[in-house]
Amino acid sequence: MLKEPNWTAAQVLLVEEGKRAIENFSAKHDTEPCSFFAFSVDYCFGDVVICFDTYDNSVLHAKRNEVQTLRIWDEAFSSERDVENAQAHLLSRRLCSYNQFTAEFKYPNFATVHFSDWEEYFLNEQRPEHPDPVGHVIVLMHQVIAELVSSHSFDGLALSSPFRIGVEFAEEIRLVVMRLLNWPSHQGPRV
């Protein structure tokens, strides 16, 4: 019988390793403004990579993305017959004010945590499809991030404003911002 991964043990380990990576990053890069902390998750092979991006690198990639996206849109929307595919073109590229891919972060492989039981579980054809096994990993990552935030783990970093925390899942789910910290001050209404 196929044994399900120990999600509780995975949460404990990911929080510990996340804290350790944050402390190490802070010690090595204490003056470099950090704009993004992300987990890049390849659950099929049991790898969770801890990634950091800096403000300057993030802005550089956001600007490159803007140039590429506008060029693609200009080409796609240059003739009347493109009206039929306009929505697909619009949704296939997005402008974003941060680096959208952990592989392009300044520190894309800062630390790695491997779970051999995930590999055995996710690659097994006998794995149950309900509940969604990927859902377990999504909930796990949400809980890990919530614990890192509630324990003030990011306080030692030089944070950009805002500072993003997110998760990227192999190929099917691109980088998702799950938390924002260090919001810039504003004069508008309070939440």
pTM of the model: 0.89
Is 66:88 a contact under the CB 8 Å cutoff? no
Tens-digit pLDDT string for the chain (191 aa): 678 899 999 999 999 999 999 999 999 999 999 999 999 999 989 999 999 999 999 999 999 999 999 998 888 888 766 687 888 878 888 888 998 999 999 999 999 999 999 988 888 888 777 677 788 999 999 999 999 999 999 999 999 999 999 999 876 788 999 999 999 887 778 77
* 114 located within any domain: yes
Burial code (b: 16+ CB inside 10 Å, e: under 16) for 125-140 equals eeeeeeeebbebbbeb
* 24 located within any domain: yes
Is 176:100 a contact under the CB 8 Å cutoff? no
* 84 located within any domain: no
* Domains identified in the chain, total number: 1
What is the domain extent for residue 16? 7-65+100-171
Q: What is the DSSP letter of 4?
A: P
The amino acid occupying position 146 is A
Provide φ and ψ at 182, rounded to 5°.
55, 50
Pairing of strands 34-42, 159-169: parallel
